[in-house]
A and B are shown apart, each in its own frame.
Chain A
Amino acid sequence: MNSKRQRRFELTIPSRLEEMQAVHALIAEAVKEYKLSSEMAHWIELSISESMINAIQHGNRADPAKQATLRISSSGDAIEIIVEDEGKGFTLDKIADPTDKANLLKPSGRGILIIRSFMDEVDLSFRKGGGCRLRMVKKLRGVDGAHPK
């Protein structure tokens, strides 16, 4: 089993949606470095993008004075992604189910569902000194590969 840690990627941005271009550029760099398949790269990009937009919009309330940080690393067996914001936080289990009939026609609220459907591990914790830390892990070897659950 290859568990050699590979190059890490990190980016801290002010909470503006315009900064998402830099996020996508960093993801592209990481995907290339880790030699991910097109399918895996797609779902990794989508999951990171959803979590960074959440951090900017919901966590930091789009306040450019607050920062969002993205860290991507790979052990060769799995990719770990960490997204941190300076917001008040939320509880994953208290998010309304967007697949509930009452919520199906709502325009928002599907980001975490998408992330959870693809990632193997998703956990949220509060950071010392304030803010939230979302940690996601995607195994690179396994039965289902890149396909969402």
Chain B
Amino acid sequence: MSIVINPRRLDDVVILDLSGRITMGEGTLVIRDRIKKLLQAGDQKFLLNLADVDYIDSSGLGELVTSFTTVRNQGGQLKLLNLTRRVQDLLQITKLLTVFEVFNNEAEAIKTMK
């Protein structure tokens, strides 16, 4: 199953509820395009909810990093929410936990983005 993105908004924060697999090809392009369009529309604060993402490959991780740097370079913020154990393990192995701010509570995450 490829990735599905359901965006919602809480004040000026865009929460992207992702479900499925973030893998080489379509899975990564969908995220890139969605964030690009939101940035163009003026959004700058993104919270990626990965609760229903159980599989990310190295390309998927690369896409998260690219999205993070793209948003940051435009003065915005991109943070991660609700990592599954497997995704958490991957971020730990690759030391990307030192790059991303990760939260298990949506309200707390949003509070840090004000």
Q: Hey, which bits of chain A sit against chain B, CB under 8 A? A: 17, 20, 42, 45-46, 49-50, 53, 98-99, 104-111, 113-114, 117, 147-148
Contact = CB atoms under 8 A, between A and B. Distances in A.
B24 A108 contact: no
Interface in B32-88: 54-55, 57-59, 61-63, 65-66, 68-69, 86
Given A50-B57, A99-B95, A110 B62 contact: yes
B62 to A, nearest CB: 4
Given A42-B86, A99-B94, A99-B95, 9 more contacts: A17-B24, A49-B23, A53-B57, A98-B94, A107-B66, A110-B58, A111-B58, A147-B89, A148-B93
11 contacts: A17-B25, A46-B57, A99-B95, A104-B95, A104-B98, A105-B69, A107-B65, A110-B61, A110-B62, A113-B93, A148-B89
Contacts of B61: 110
Nearest to A108: B62
A114 B89 CA distance: 10
A42 B55 contact: yes
A113 B55 contact: no
B99 interface: yes
A122 to B, nearest CB: 14
**Which among B61, B93, B98 has the highest number of chain A CB atoms within 10 Å?**
B93
Contacts of B63: 107
A107 B62 contact: yes
Contact of B57 (A49, A147, A148): A49
Contacts of A45: 55
